[in-house]
Every structure is written in structure tokens, then in C-alpha cells.
């Protein structure tokens, strides 16, 4: 008794090939559409903004006059904020991930925590803004300072960093840990010498992508009341400041048409910064990636 009738198989072959081609076409168009949208966006922004990208654009503070408006305060302000966000979020994020993956025993409470960290990553950024406003700006009386904004952004990207780090740590093969424990290494020695070196590319890739999100996020800054017109550079972490997305947002909503071009110039700067950070992530991943 034979179940496969080869004559029929050959007859159906051409239909199968057509279906295959149709789906290939659909997926190709989908990809093309995404690329096209991105291309149009890039084209518009670059053609509009390139004229305003001059050395003065980086040297000037914000201004009522489009030709005098610059991104200096916002660029430096964003960098100050990232100087808070990067260490705080990486320290707490990687620390939590190590605890959850290596130390925490399997229990219902820990499973609940794990699940909810993933859920936190989906909470809208405005909500984190409100949290930052309540805790850092008001309760801890940090005002709308770099520190308050940095802490708020850290909270925002913490779940993403924790989840990415957990995955990187989990991907370190169990047999490497066994080999280390088998020689009498303590948990800490195993983490520092075996787990982290293998997990670091994944952790940094996830971390840098999360940091790029923090640098581009606007909503939490609006909620905690970061000003736009700032005519000075921050002196310390308690200074007032403004950040690039805030500055761009402000330019974009001004009535004069020229400010649209200034906004585009600001977006170019922001995008270059983001691309730079993402390339660092890719570079790290390629350089340190290890085979098992």
C-alpha cells in the first residue's frame, strides 16, 4: 500500500511553485515598503536640514531667530543626561539580571518578578515621566535637573536592559558554569570569570540600544518639565538643562517655516548620534562574539 501517488505530486507541483512565488513577492513588497518609508523620511529631513547644519549650529544656544538658533545647549544637555543614565541603568540593570539568573532560587515570587519586568518594558514612557515627576522631581526635591531626568530615563530603560542582560546570561552554556563550579570556584568567581565575559557582547548590545532609546525619548522630559530655552551650559548634575528631543519638538511646533528646517537639522544631529551608538553596539557584538 502506497500513500504517496507520485503522478499527482508532479501534477500539483506547478501550483505549489506559484504559491511559493506569490508569498515571496508579498514579503519582498513588505520589506520594500519599510525601506521606502525610511528613504523618504531620510530624504526629506536631509534636504530640509542640511542647509542649517553649520559650525554655528553647534556653537549657538536656542534663539528666536531661525538663523541664529543652535543645538549647543541641547546636545551638551543630552550628553550630561546620558552620563547619569548610562552608569545608573547599566549597574542596576546588569545587577538585577545577574541576581535573577544566577542567585535567585526558583520560586513563585521570583517567577512573578521575572514576568513583570518583561511587562514593565511595555509601559508607556509618559507613565515613567509621571513616576519621575512624583519621586525625583518632587519627593526627592531634585527639581527639573539633569539628575532627576537621568534617573527617570534610567527607570524607563531598566526593564529593557534587565531583559536583554538576562537573555545574554542565560545564553552562556551551562557546561561552562559546571566546569567552573567543578574546580571549586565560588558563584561570584564563576560569574566574573566565565559568565560575564561570555555574556558581555549581548549585554552591551542590549544596553546600548536601550541607551539610544533614552537619548531619543521626549515624553518623560515633557512630563517632568524640562525647559526648552536654556542659554547656559550645565554646571553640575543639579543644573537645569534641555535635551535634544525637547529642542527639536520646540522648533517643530513654532509657526515660522524656517524653524521646520532648523528642526530637521536637529533631527540629523540626533540621528547621527543614534547611528553612532548603534554602530558601536554592532561593533562590540562582532568583536567579542564567541563560539561555543
Partner 1 sequence: MVQLKVNNKTTDEIVATQAFTDKKLVYDTQQLNLWYGNHHALKNIDLAIKENEVTAIIGPSGCGKSTYIKTLNRMVELVPSVKTSGKILYRERNIFDADYGVEELRTKVGMVFQKPNPFPKSIYDNIAYGPRIHGIKNKKTLDEIVEQSLRGAAIWNEVKDRLNENAYGLSGGQQQRICIARALAIEPDVILMDEPTSALDPISTLKVEELVQDLKKNYSIIIVTHNMQQAARISDQTAFFLNGEVIEFDQTDTIFSTPSDKRTEDYISGRFG
Q: Where are the alpha helices (DSSP H) in 121-195?
A: 125-132, 146-170, 174-182, 187-190
Beta carbon of residue 198, minimum distance to partner 1 (angstroms, whole number): 6
Cβ atoms of 123 and 216 within 8 Å: the answer is: no
Contact between 191 and partner 1 (CB under 8 A)?
no
3-state secondary structure of 243: coil
C-alpha cell at 65: 531667530
Shortest Å distance, C-beta 177 to partner 1: 8
Among 134, 186, 256, 279, indicate the residue that binds partner 1 (CB under 8 A): 186
CA distance 172 to 101: 11
Is residue 286 within the footprint of partner 1 (CB under 8 A)?
A: no
Q: How far is the CB of 286 from partner 1 (least distance, A)?
A: 16
For residue 240, the SS3 value is strand
Q: Which of 2, 6, 108, 290 binds partner 1 (CB under 8 A)?
A: 290
Q: What is the dihedral angle through the alpha carbons of 89, 95, 101, 105, rounded to the nearest 10 degrees? A: -130
CB atoms within 10 A of CB 175: 10
Distance CA 230, CA 279 (A): 31
- Least Cβ distance, residue 172 to partner 1 (angstroms): 10
How many angstroms separate the Cα of 190 from the Cα of each of 175, 231, 289? 12, 51, 19
| Contact status, residue 149 vs residue 244, Cβ threshold 8 Å | no
Residue 195 CB, nearest distance to partner 1 (Å)?
Answer: 11
Minimum distance, C-beta of residue 182 to partner 1, in the bound complex (Å): 4
Binder of partner 1 out of 21, 24, 175, 253 (CB under 8 A)? 175
Of 6, 105, 108, 287, which lies in the binding site for partner 1, with binding defined by CB under 8 A? Answer: 105
Q: Which of 22, 140, 179, 238 binds partner 1 (CB under 8 A)?
A: 179
Judged by CB under 8 A, does residue 8 bind partner 1?
A: no
Cβ distance to partner 1 smaller for residue 199 or 270? 199
Residue 107 or 231: which CB sits closer to partner 1? 107
106 binding partner 1? (CB under 8 A): yes
Would you say 122 or 182 has its CB closer to partner 1?
Answer: 182
**What is the rounded distance in angstroms from the CA atom of residue 169 to the CA atom of residue 215?**
26
Contact residue for partner 1 among 79, 83, 130, 185 (CB under 8 A)? 185
In the list 5, 122, 141, 182, the residue contacting partner 1 (rule: CB under 8 A) is: 182
Count interface residues toward partner 1 (CB under 8 A). 23
Number of other residues whose CB lies within 10 A of the CB of residue 98: 23
Note whether 291 binds partner 1 by CB under 8 A: yes
User: By C-beta, is 42 or 112 nearer to partner 1?
Assistant: 112
- Residue 194 interacts with partner 1 (CB under 8 A): yes or no: yes
- Specify whether the CB–CB gap between 138 and 209 falls below 8 A: no
Residue of 131, 194, 203 whose CA lies nearest to 163 = 203
Going by C-alpha positions, the residue among 290, 283, 269 that lies closest to residue 72 is: 269
> What secondary structure letter does DSSP report for 239?
S
193 lies in the site for partner 1, by CB under 8 A:
yes
Applying CB under 8 A, the residues found at the interface with partner 1 are 105-106, 173, 175-186, 189, 193-194, 197-198, 290-292
Amino acid at each position: 500500500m502506497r500513500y504517496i501517488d507520485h503522478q499527482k505530486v508532479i501534477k500539483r507541483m506547478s501550483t505549489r511553485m506559484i504559491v511559493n512565488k506569490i508569498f515571496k513577492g508579498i514579503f519582498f513588497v513588505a520589506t520594500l515598503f519599510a525601506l521606502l518609508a525610511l528613504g523618504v523620511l531620510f530624504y526629506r529631513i536631509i534636504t530640509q536640514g542640511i542647509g542649517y547644519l553649520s559650525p554655528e549650529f553647534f556653537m549657538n544656544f536656542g534663539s528666536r531667530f531661525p538663523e541664529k538658533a543652535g543645538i549647543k545647549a541641547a546636545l551638551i544637555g543630552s550628553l550630561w543626561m546620558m552620563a547619569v543614565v548610562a552608569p545608573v541603568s547599566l549597574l542596576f540593570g546588569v545587577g538585577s539580571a545577574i541576581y535573577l539568573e544566577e542567585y535567585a532560587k526558583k520560586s513563585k515570587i521570583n517567577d512573578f518578578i521575572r514576568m513583570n519586568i518583561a511587562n514593565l518594558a511595555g509601559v508607556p514612557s509618559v507613565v515613567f515621566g509621571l513616576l519621575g515627576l512624583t519621586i525625583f522631581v518632587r519627593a526627592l526635591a531634585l527639581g527639573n535637573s539633569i539628575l532627576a531626568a537621568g534617573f527617570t530615563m534610567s527607570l524607563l530603560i531598566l526593564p529593557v536592559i534587565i531583559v536583554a542582560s538576562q537573555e545574554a546570561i542565560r545564553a552562556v552554556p551551562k557546561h561552562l558554569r559546571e566546569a567552573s563550579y567543578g574546580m571549586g570556584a565560588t558563584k561570584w568567581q564563576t560569574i566574573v570569570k566565565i559568565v560575564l565575559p561570555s555574556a558581555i557582547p549581548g549585554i552591551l548590545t542590549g544596553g546600548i540600544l536601550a541607551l539610544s532609546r533614552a537619548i531619543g525619548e521626549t515624553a518623560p522630559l515633557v512630563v517632568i518639565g524640562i525647559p526648552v530655552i536654556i542659554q547656559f551650559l550645565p554646571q553640575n548634575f543639579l543644573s537645569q538643562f534641555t535635551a535634544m528631543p525637547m529642542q527639536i519638538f520646540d522648533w517643530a511646533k513654532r509657526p515660522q517655516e524656517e524653524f521646520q528646517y532648523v528642526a530637521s537639522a536637529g533631527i540629523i544631529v540626533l540621528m547621527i548620534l543614534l547611528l553612532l551608538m548603534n554602530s558601536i553596539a554592532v561593533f562590540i557584538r562582532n568583536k567579542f562574539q564567541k563560539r561555543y
